[in-house]
Amino acid sequence: MMVGVTGFFYARPSFLGGMARALDLGDTLTEYNQSLTPEQADDLALAADWQAVGQDLRLAMENFAHEHPELQRDVPQEP
């Protein structure tokens, strides 16, 4: 699950703001977090994408290791 990586372009509304958005049929309350330049926005989005990929890979490797403990080998720990 990609927690915390996909929504950084959207401002988080308060509880009352969230309730008001439920009634906002014209989408007039939508706010976005601002970047200084389009390049900065691209850099942030690309970094978030790779962070999500890393999280997915880490989770997949952990799940595989849990499902196939017989394939695990002992790795010596550094002192």
How large is the average pLDDT for residues 43-71? 92
Q: What is the 3-state secondary structure (H, E, C) of the chain?
A: CCCCCCCCCECCCCHHHHHHHHCCCCCCCCCECCCCCHHHHHHHHHHHHHHHHHHHHHHHHHHHHHHCHHHCCCCCCCC
Greater pLDDT, 38 or 1: 38
pTM confidence score: 0.53
Mean pLDDT computed over every residue of the chain: 79
Q: Residue written as tokens 């550094």?
A: 78
Task: Report d(CA 1, CA 62) in Å as an integer.
Answer: 13
How large is the average pLDDT for residues 51-65? 94
